[in-house]
Amino acid sequence: MRLENSYCSLFGAVLLASPALGCGGNAVPFDIPSVITANNLARSNGTMLHKKIALNNVRVFDGTCILPPSTVVIDGPLIGSDTTGAEHIDGKGGVLLPGLIDAHCHPANMTHMQELAKWGVTSGFAMACFSQELCSSLTNHTGLPSLLRTSVPASAPGSAHGNISIAATGDISLVINGTEAVPSWISRQLADQDPDYFKFIAETPGLDQATLDLLVKNAHQYGKKSVTHAATREAYAQAILSRTDHIHHTPLDHEISPALVENMLQQGQFSTPTLTMMRTTALNNRTTSSNNFTAALSTTSLLHKAGVPILTGTDANTQTGVPATVPFGSSLHDELENLVEAGMSNIEALLAATVTPARAFGLWDRGTIQVGMRADLVLVGGDPLEDIKNTKDIKRVWIGGVQVGQQQ
Protein backbone atom coordinates (compact mmCIF):
# COMPACT_ATOMS: atom_id res chain seq x y z
CA MET A 1 0.00 0.00 0.00
CA ARG A 2 1.41 3.36 -0.97
CA LEU A 3 -0.53 6.54 -0.29
CA GLU A 4 0.56 9.95 -1.54
CA ASN A 5 -1.72 12.99 -1.39
CA SER A 6 -4.47 10.89 0.13
CA TYR A 7 -2.26 10.30 3.17
CA CYS A 8 -1.92 13.97 4.02
CA SER A 9 -4.41 13.59 6.85
CA LEU A 10 -4.03 9.91 7.62
CA PHE A 11 -2.07 10.73 10.74
CA GLY A 12 -1.49 14.41 10.14
CA ALA A 13 -3.60 17.13 11.66
CA VAL A 14 -7.28 16.90 10.94
CA LEU A 15 -8.44 19.54 8.51
CA LEU A 16 -10.25 22.45 10.01
CA ALA A 17 -13.61 22.48 8.22
CA SER A 18 -12.72 24.89 5.47
CA PRO A 19 -12.53 24.24 1.73
CA ALA A 20 -9.35 26.31 1.66
CA LEU A 21 -7.65 24.10 4.22
CA GLY A 22 -7.25 20.91 2.26
CA CYS A 23 -4.50 18.53 1.34
CA GLY A 24 -1.78 20.11 -0.72
CA GLY A 25 0.02 18.57 -3.64
CA ASN A 26 3.32 18.16 -1.85
CA ALA A 27 2.61 15.21 0.39
CA VAL A 28 5.50 12.79 0.69
CA PRO A 29 4.73 9.20 -0.41
CA PHE A 30 4.16 7.03 2.64
CA ASP A 31 4.97 3.33 2.56
CA ILE A 32 2.69 1.99 5.28
CA PRO A 33 3.91 -1.66 5.32
CA SER A 34 7.53 -0.53 5.74
CA VAL A 35 6.65 1.78 8.61
CA ILE A 36 4.60 -0.95 10.32
CA THR A 37 7.53 -3.35 10.00
CA ALA A 38 9.98 -0.80 11.41
CA ASN A 39 7.66 0.03 14.30
CA ASN A 40 7.21 -3.62 15.21
CA LEU A 41 10.93 -4.33 14.95
CA ALA A 42 11.59 -1.50 17.39
CA ARG A 43 9.30 -3.24 19.86
CA SER A 44 10.85 -6.68 19.42
CA ASN A 45 14.33 -5.24 19.92
CA GLY A 46 13.38 -3.53 23.19
CA THR A 47 14.62 -4.98 26.46
CA MET A 48 12.96 -4.22 29.77
CA LEU A 49 15.27 -2.21 31.99
CA HIS A 50 13.22 -1.99 35.15
CA LYS A 51 15.33 -0.99 38.11
CA LYS A 52 14.45 -0.19 41.66
CA ILE A 53 15.39 3.44 42.08
CA ALA A 54 15.26 5.76 45.05
CA LEU A 55 14.99 9.23 43.56
CA ASN A 56 16.27 11.43 46.38
CA ASN A 57 16.04 15.18 46.91
CA VAL A 58 13.11 15.83 44.60
CA ARG A 59 10.26 18.28 45.13
CA VAL A 60 7.02 16.56 44.16
CA PHE A 61 4.15 18.40 42.47
CA ASP A 62 1.12 16.94 44.25
CA GLY A 63 -1.56 18.75 42.24
CA THR A 64 -1.82 21.71 44.60
CA CYS A 65 1.74 22.79 45.36
CA ILE A 66 5.41 21.83 45.20
CA LEU A 67 6.26 19.77 48.27
CA PRO A 68 9.55 20.00 50.22
CA PRO A 69 12.42 17.71 49.11
CA SER A 70 11.73 14.01 49.60
CA THR A 71 12.41 10.58 48.10
CA VAL A 72 10.26 8.85 45.47
CA VAL A 73 10.78 5.14 44.85
CA ILE A 74 10.49 3.65 41.36
CA ASP A 75 9.87 -0.05 41.88
CA GLY A 76 9.57 -1.78 38.51
CA PRO A 77 6.76 -0.17 36.51
CA LEU A 78 5.13 1.40 39.58
CA ILE A 79 5.80 3.97 42.27
CA GLY A 80 6.79 2.14 45.45
CA SER A 81 7.66 2.95 49.05
CA ASP A 82 10.49 0.66 50.12
CA THR A 83 14.04 1.81 49.31
CA THR A 84 15.64 -1.53 50.17
CA GLY A 85 18.04 -2.58 47.40
CA ALA A 86 17.36 0.52 45.37
CA GLU A 87 19.85 2.44 43.26
CA HIS A 88 19.98 5.97 44.63
CA ILE A 89 19.80 8.96 42.30
CA ASP A 90 20.20 12.56 43.43
CA GLY A 91 17.38 14.67 42.02
CA LYS A 92 19.34 17.82 42.96
CA GLY A 93 16.28 19.62 44.22
CA GLY A 94 14.44 19.37 40.92
CA VAL A 95 10.66 19.32 40.60
CA LEU A 96 9.09 15.91 39.93
CA LEU A 97 5.94 16.02 37.79
CA PRO A 98 3.56 13.24 36.83
CA GLY A 99 4.10 12.16 33.23
CA LEU A 100 2.57 14.61 30.76
CA ILE A 101 -0.39 13.60 28.58
CA ASP A 102 -1.07 14.78 25.03
CA ALA A 103 -4.80 14.29 24.55
CA HIS A 104 -4.67 14.91 20.78
CA CYS A 105 -1.75 13.88 18.58
CA HIS A 106 -1.02 11.97 15.37
CA PRO A 107 2.15 9.86 15.69
CA ALA A 108 2.99 7.45 12.88
CA ASN A 109 6.51 6.20 13.57
CA MET A 110 9.16 5.65 16.22
CA THR A 111 10.72 9.08 15.71
CA HIS A 112 7.42 10.69 16.66
CA MET A 113 7.12 8.47 19.72
CA GLN A 114 10.71 9.15 20.76
CA GLU A 115 10.18 12.90 20.51
CA LEU A 116 7.10 12.64 22.71
CA ALA A 117 9.07 10.67 25.29
CA LYS A 118 12.06 13.02 25.16
CA TRP A 119 9.81 15.94 26.10
CA GLY A 120 8.13 14.13 28.99
CA VAL A 121 4.94 13.03 27.23
CA THR A 122 4.30 9.61 28.73
CA SER A 123 0.76 9.03 27.38
CA GLY A 124 -0.81 10.10 24.10
CA PHE A 125 -4.15 9.83 22.34
CA ALA A 126 -3.92 9.11 18.60
CA MET A 127 -6.81 10.95 17.00
CA ALA A 128 -7.14 9.17 13.65
CA CYS A 129 -6.71 5.52 12.82
CA PHE A 130 -7.24 4.50 9.20
CA SER A 131 -4.93 1.49 9.50
CA GLN A 132 -5.38 -0.80 12.49
CA GLU A 133 -2.01 -2.41 11.82
CA LEU A 134 -0.20 0.93 11.81
CA CYS A 135 -1.91 2.13 14.98
CA SER A 136 -1.18 -1.15 16.77
CA SER A 137 2.48 -1.04 15.76
CA LEU A 138 2.88 2.12 17.85
CA THR A 139 1.65 0.53 21.08
CA ASN A 140 3.41 -1.34 23.90
CA HIS A 141 6.94 -0.07 23.36
CA THR A 142 9.29 -0.13 26.33
CA GLY A 143 10.32 3.36 27.39
CA LEU A 144 7.92 5.06 24.96
CA PRO A 145 4.53 6.64 25.63
CA SER A 146 1.38 4.64 26.22
CA LEU A 147 -0.77 5.25 23.16
CA LEU A 148 -4.54 5.03 23.09
CA ARG A 149 -6.22 5.16 19.72
CA THR A 150 -9.47 6.07 18.10
CA SER A 151 -11.53 4.75 15.24
CA VAL A 152 -11.69 5.98 11.70
CA PRO A 153 -13.22 9.45 12.26
CA ALA A 154 -16.94 9.35 11.53
CA SER A 155 -17.81 11.79 8.74
CA ALA A 156 -20.39 12.43 6.04
CA PRO A 157 -20.10 11.84 2.28
CA GLY A 158 -19.11 15.01 0.46
CA SER A 159 -17.63 16.59 3.58
CA ALA A 160 -13.99 17.62 3.96
CA HIS A 161 -13.27 14.77 6.35
CA GLY A 162 -15.41 12.32 4.41
CA ASN A 163 -13.26 12.98 1.37
CA ILE A 164 -10.17 12.38 3.50
CA SER A 165 -11.45 9.01 4.73
CA ILE A 166 -12.26 7.83 1.22
CA ALA A 167 -8.94 9.08 -0.17
CA ALA A 168 -6.96 7.47 2.64
CA THR A 169 -8.67 4.08 2.46
CA GLY A 170 -10.44 3.86 -0.89
CA ASP A 171 -13.49 2.64 1.03
CA ILE A 172 -16.63 4.71 0.52
CA SER A 173 -18.50 2.64 3.11
CA LEU A 174 -16.49 4.33 5.87
CA VAL A 175 -18.52 7.53 5.52
CA ILE A 176 -21.95 7.75 7.13
CA ASN A 177 -25.00 8.73 5.11
CA GLY A 178 -27.70 9.27 7.72
CA THR A 179 -28.89 7.62 10.90
CA GLU A 180 -29.62 4.27 9.23
CA ALA A 181 -25.92 3.72 8.65
CA VAL A 182 -24.84 4.35 12.25
CA PRO A 183 -25.33 0.91 13.88
CA SER A 184 -23.44 -0.99 11.17
CA TRP A 185 -20.65 1.63 11.10
CA ILE A 186 -20.15 1.38 14.87
CA SER A 187 -20.23 -2.42 14.76
CA ARG A 188 -17.67 -2.50 11.97
CA GLN A 189 -15.28 -0.20 13.84
CA LEU A 190 -15.56 -2.34 16.94
CA ALA A 191 -14.88 -5.51 14.95
CA ASP A 192 -12.06 -4.11 12.83
CA GLN A 193 -10.23 -1.96 15.36
CA ASP A 194 -11.87 -2.09 18.81
CA PRO A 195 -10.84 1.53 19.42
CA ASP A 196 -10.25 2.89 22.90
CA TYR A 197 -12.72 5.68 22.05
CA PHE A 198 -14.60 6.97 19.02
CA LYS A 199 -13.96 10.15 17.07
CA PHE A 200 -16.73 12.00 15.26
CA ILE A 201 -16.58 15.06 13.00
CA ALA A 202 -18.81 18.12 13.32
CA GLU A 203 -18.43 20.35 10.27
CA THR A 204 -20.44 22.03 7.51
CA PRO A 205 -21.31 20.32 5.27
CA GLY A 206 -21.22 17.20 7.38
CA LEU A 207 -23.18 14.89 9.64
CA ASP A 208 -26.65 16.15 10.54
CA GLN A 209 -27.56 16.57 14.19
CA ALA A 210 -29.63 13.39 14.40
CA THR A 211 -26.78 11.30 12.99
CA LEU A 212 -24.17 12.82 15.30
CA ASP A 213 -26.49 12.34 18.29
CA LEU A 214 -27.00 8.68 17.40
CA LEU A 215 -23.27 8.10 16.96
CA VAL A 216 -22.62 9.40 20.47
CA LYS A 217 -25.48 7.32 21.88
CA ASN A 218 -24.19 4.15 20.21
CA ALA A 219 -20.64 4.75 21.41
CA HIS A 220 -21.93 5.07 24.97
CA GLN A 221 -23.98 1.91 24.64
CA TYR A 222 -20.74 0.03 23.96
CA GLY A 223 -18.98 1.70 26.88
CA LYS A 224 -16.82 3.92 24.69
CA LYS A 225 -16.19 7.63 25.13
CA SER A 226 -16.66 9.94 22.19
CA VAL A 227 -14.42 12.74 20.93
CA THR A 228 -15.89 15.25 18.49
CA HIS A 229 -13.87 17.52 16.21
CA ALA A 230 -15.30 21.05 16.06
CA ALA A 231 -13.36 24.02 14.68
CA THR A 232 -16.14 26.54 14.02
CA ARG A 233 -18.82 28.04 16.25
CA GLU A 234 -21.56 26.20 14.35
CA ALA A 235 -19.74 22.88 14.71
CA TYR A 236 -19.16 23.53 18.41
CA ALA A 237 -22.88 24.07 18.94
CA GLN A 238 -23.62 20.78 17.17
CA ALA A 239 -21.03 18.92 19.25
CA ILE A 240 -22.40 20.31 22.52
CA LEU A 241 -25.95 19.38 21.58
CA SER A 242 -24.87 15.81 20.76
CA ARG A 243 -23.68 15.30 24.37
CA THR A 244 -20.34 13.98 23.18
CA ASP A 245 -17.83 13.44 26.00
CA HIS A 246 -15.01 15.51 24.54
CA ILE A 247 -14.86 18.44 22.12
CA HIS A 248 -11.53 18.98 20.41
CA HIS A 249 -10.19 22.24 18.93
CA THR A 250 -11.73 25.67 19.43
CA PRO A 251 -13.52 27.85 16.86
CA LEU A 252 -11.33 29.84 14.50
CA ASP A 253 -14.22 31.99 13.29
CA HIS A 254 -16.15 33.28 16.34
CA GLU A 255 -16.09 32.64 20.07
CA ILE A 256 -18.98 30.55 21.35
CA SER A 257 -21.87 32.06 23.30
CA PRO A 258 -22.20 32.02 27.11
CA ALA A 259 -25.29 29.82 26.68
CA LEU A 260 -23.26 27.16 24.87
CA VAL A 261 -20.56 27.36 27.52
CA GLU A 262 -23.18 26.79 30.22
CA ASN A 263 -24.66 23.84 28.32
CA MET A 264 -21.24 22.28 28.01
CA LEU A 265 -20.60 22.72 31.73
CA GLN A 266 -23.95 21.27 32.78
CA GLN A 267 -23.48 18.23 30.53
CA GLY A 268 -20.05 17.47 31.97
CA GLN A 269 -18.23 17.76 28.65
CA PHE A 270 -14.47 18.23 28.34
CA SER A 271 -12.60 20.63 26.07
CA THR A 272 -9.24 20.03 24.40
CA PRO A 273 -8.63 23.39 22.68
CA THR A 274 -5.42 22.44 20.78
CA LEU A 275 -4.45 26.12 20.89
CA THR A 276 -0.99 25.39 19.50
CA MET A 277 -2.56 23.99 16.34
CA MET A 278 -5.13 26.78 16.13
CA ARG A 279 -2.49 29.48 16.52
CA THR A 280 -0.24 27.94 13.88
CA THR A 281 -3.15 27.43 11.49
CA ALA A 282 -4.20 31.07 11.87
CA LEU A 283 -0.64 32.26 11.28
CA ASN A 284 -0.36 30.10 8.17
CA ASN A 285 -3.62 31.43 6.73
CA ARG A 286 -3.72 35.09 7.70
CA THR A 287 -5.63 36.10 4.57
CA THR A 288 -8.58 33.88 5.52
CA SER A 289 -11.07 35.74 7.72
CA SER A 290 -12.26 32.51 9.35
CA ASN A 291 -8.81 31.91 10.86
CA ASN A 292 -9.04 34.12 13.93
CA PHE A 293 -6.87 32.85 16.78
CA THR A 294 -8.33 35.48 19.08
CA ALA A 295 -11.67 33.66 18.84
CA ALA A 296 -10.03 30.36 19.81
CA LEU A 297 -8.21 31.93 22.74
CA SER A 298 -11.35 33.75 23.89
CA THR A 299 -13.48 30.60 23.75
CA THR A 300 -10.90 28.73 25.82
CA SER A 301 -10.93 31.52 28.37
CA LEU A 302 -14.74 31.46 28.57
CA LEU A 303 -14.76 27.68 29.03
CA HIS A 304 -12.13 27.84 31.75
CA LYS A 305 -13.82 30.66 33.67
CA ALA A 306 -17.09 28.72 33.61
CA GLY A 307 -15.41 25.60 35.03
CA VAL A 308 -15.41 23.38 31.94
CA PRO A 309 -12.49 20.91 32.37
CA ILE A 310 -9.65 21.66 29.94
CA LEU A 311 -7.16 19.07 28.61
CA THR A 312 -3.84 19.65 26.86
CA GLY A 313 -3.76 18.46 23.27
CA THR A 314 -1.46 19.61 20.51
CA ASP A 315 -2.60 18.02 17.21
CA ALA A 316 1.09 17.21 16.75
CA ASN A 317 1.91 16.08 13.21
CA THR A 318 4.68 16.52 10.67
CA GLN A 319 2.70 15.79 7.52
CA THR A 320 3.09 18.01 4.47
CA GLY A 321 -0.10 19.46 3.06
CA VAL A 322 -2.15 20.02 6.22
CA PRO A 323 -3.14 23.45 7.57
CA ALA A 324 -0.23 23.42 10.04
CA THR A 325 2.49 21.07 11.18
CA VAL A 326 3.09 20.89 14.91
CA PRO A 327 6.18 19.22 16.42
CA PHE A 328 5.84 16.22 18.70
CA GLY A 329 6.70 16.63 22.36
CA SER A 330 7.87 20.21 22.52
CA SER A 331 4.42 21.40 21.44
CA LEU A 332 2.92 20.06 24.67
CA HIS A 333 4.96 22.68 26.51
CA ASP A 334 3.82 25.32 24.02
CA GLU A 335 0.25 24.27 24.77
CA LEU A 336 0.82 24.81 28.47
CA GLU A 337 1.97 28.36 27.72
CA ASN A 338 -1.08 28.92 25.52
CA LEU A 339 -3.42 27.73 28.26
CA VAL A 340 -1.80 30.11 30.72
CA GLU A 341 -2.26 32.90 28.17
CA ALA A 342 -5.95 31.92 28.03
CA GLY A 343 -6.24 32.58 31.75
CA MET A 344 -5.37 29.33 33.47
CA SER A 345 -2.99 29.40 36.42
CA ASN A 346 0.24 27.45 36.18
CA ILE A 347 -1.19 24.82 38.52
CA GLU A 348 -4.34 24.51 36.43
CA ALA A 349 -2.31 24.13 33.25
CA LEU A 350 -0.24 21.35 34.83
CA LEU A 351 -3.41 19.57 35.92
CA ALA A 352 -4.69 19.86 32.34
CA ALA A 353 -1.62 17.90 31.24
CA THR A 354 -1.66 15.24 33.96
CA VAL A 355 -4.52 14.15 36.21
CA THR A 356 -7.39 15.81 34.32
CA PRO A 357 -6.89 13.93 31.01
CA ALA A 358 -6.12 10.72 32.91
CA ARG A 359 -9.42 10.88 34.76
CA ALA A 360 -11.34 12.18 31.73
CA PHE A 361 -10.41 9.03 29.80
CA GLY A 362 -10.74 6.67 32.77
CA LEU A 363 -7.01 6.06 33.23
CA TRP A 364 -6.92 5.61 36.98
CA ASP A 365 -3.33 4.34 37.11
CA ARG A 366 -1.61 7.62 36.18
CA GLY A 367 -1.76 11.39 36.44
CA THR A 368 -0.52 11.72 40.02
CA ILE A 369 2.58 10.76 41.98
CA GLN A 370 1.38 8.23 44.56
CA VAL A 371 2.42 4.78 45.71
CA GLY A 372 0.93 2.14 43.41
CA MET A 373 0.53 4.44 40.40
CA ARG A 374 2.44 3.98 37.14
CA ALA A 375 5.98 5.30 37.38
CA ASP A 376 5.41 7.89 34.64
CA LEU A 377 7.55 10.75 35.89
CA VAL A 378 9.22 13.91 34.59
CA LEU A 379 12.04 15.59 36.51
CA VAL A 380 12.55 19.26 35.66
CA GLY A 381 15.16 21.67 36.95
CA GLY A 382 13.04 24.76 37.48
CA ASP A 383 9.77 25.43 39.28
CA PRO A 384 6.87 25.48 36.78
CA LEU A 385 4.62 27.15 39.35
CA GLU A 386 6.90 30.18 39.14
CA ASP A 387 7.20 30.05 35.34
CA ILE A 388 5.32 27.52 33.21
CA LYS A 389 8.21 27.56 30.74
CA ASN A 390 10.25 25.64 33.31
CA THR A 391 8.49 22.43 32.20
CA LYS A 392 10.90 22.50 29.24
CA ASP A 393 13.89 22.17 31.58
CA ILE A 394 13.74 18.38 31.51
CA LYS A 395 16.41 16.41 33.33
CA ARG A 396 15.04 12.85 33.28
CA VAL A 397 11.89 11.03 32.16
CA TRP A 398 10.57 7.63 33.21
CA ILE A 399 7.76 5.80 31.42
CA GLY A 400 6.41 2.76 33.24
CA GLY A 401 9.52 2.79 35.41
CA VAL A 402 11.97 2.76 32.48
CA GLN A 403 14.16 5.80 32.07
CA VAL A 404 13.78 7.28 28.61
CA GLY A 405 16.92 6.83 26.56
CA GLN A 406 18.18 3.85 28.58
CA GLN A 407 16.16 1.02 27.02
CA GLN A 408 18.20 -1.19 24.68
- Tell me the CATH number for domain 52-96+370-403: 2.30.40.10
- Residues in contact with 59: Cβ distance below 8 Å, sequence separation at least 6, in sequence order: 66, 67, 68, 69, 70, 93, 94, 95, 96, 383
Q: Is the dihedral of CA 201, 203, 207, 212 positive or negative?
A: positive
In this prediction, residue 1 carries a pLDDT of: 30
Q: Is the bond preceding residue 205 a cis peptide, omega within 30 degrees?
A: yes
pLDDT digit of tens for each residue in the chain (408 aa)?
A: 333 333 333 333 333 333 222 222 233 345 778 888 888 888 766 555 678 999 999 999 999 999 999 999 999 999 999 999 999 999 999 999 999 999 999 999 999 999 999 999 999 999 999 888 989 999 999 999 999 999 899 999 999 999 989 988 889 999 999 999 999 999 999 999 899 999 999 999 999 999 999 999 999 999 999 999 999 999 999 999 999 999 999 999 999 999 999 999 999 999 999 999 999 999 988 766 678 999 999 999 999 999 999 999 999 998 776 789 999 999 999 999 999 999 999 999 999 999 999 999 999 999 999 999 999 999 999 999 999 999 999 999 999 999 998 754
Long-range contacts of residues 254-262, Cβ cutoff 8 Å, at least 24 apart: 254/292, 254/295, 255/295, 255/298, 255/299, 255/302, 256/299, 256/302, 258/302, 258/306, 260/236, 261/302, 261/303, 261/306, 261/308, 262/306
In this prediction, residue 41 carries a pLDDT of: 85
Residues of the chain with CATH 3.20.20.140: 2-29+100-360
Q: What gap in Å lies between CA 118 and CA 333, rounded to an integer?
A: 12
Amino acid found at 322: V
- Residues in contact with 174: Cβ distance below 8 Å, sequence separation at least 6, in sequence order: 152, 165, 166, 185
In this prediction, residue 289 carries a pLDDT of: 65
Residues of the chain with CATH 2.30.40.10: 52-96+370-403
In this prediction, residue 213 carries a pLDDT of: 98
The CATH topology of domain 2-29+100-360 is TIM Barrel (3.20.20)
**Residue 240 φ then ψ, to 5°:** -60, -45
Tally Cβ neighbours within 10 Å of residue 164.
27
